[in-house]
Amino acid sequence: MLTEEHDAFHVEKEEILKAALESGQIQTEDVGTRDRLLVVLDRPTTPLHNNLSEIGGCGAKVKSKISGGPRTDFGRRAWDTFGSLNLTCRRLGISFYDFLMDRLLDLNKIARPGDVIGERIQSVVTRNTVNDLVIVLNVA
């Protein structure tokens, strides 16, 4: 059953490639790299781009332009630390505000980001799927 679905999938992929070639969406010189170009069809969890780190830096750049940036070395280190923590919380699906309040009020109800990452890595390792690791950690 699985083999039949897999074969049907590859037939459909070849049809998509042929249609793209005929319509001019893919140039003939790109055909040699078609497996690399169409890897997303084999692995739908593969990100279509690898610029997650650039996206993460966009918010910091906008904030820097608006506020004029940090004025002291201590301010720069604090800016970097909180920016990194904010981005990590966002990628893990943790509210940054809730995380800060949890730590400031010494509630410790929200797990440490490092512990959350460790748990997610462990769950992926036990399933033995490397491609899921990229998605779980939301990195490229």
Selection from 87, 12, 7 nearest residue 55 by Cα: 87
Quick check: is 47 in a domain? no
Domain that holds residue 111: 52-137
Residues 33 and 60 in one domain: no
Structurally, the chain folds into a number of domains equal to: 2
Residues 24 and 63 in one domain: no
Residues 59 and 98 in one domain: yes
Tens digits of residue pLDDT in 18-59 = 777 777 766 655 555 656 666 666 766 666 666 666 666 677
Quick check: is 69 in a domain? yes
Map tokens 């509210």 to a residue.
95
Going along the chain, which residue ranges are E strands?
none
With both helix axes pointing from N to C terminus, report the angle between 130-137 and 113-127 in degrees, rounded to the nearest 10.
Answer: 160
Tens digits of residue pLDDT in 54-80 = 666 677 777 777 788 888 999 889 988
Residues 32 and 83 in one domain: no
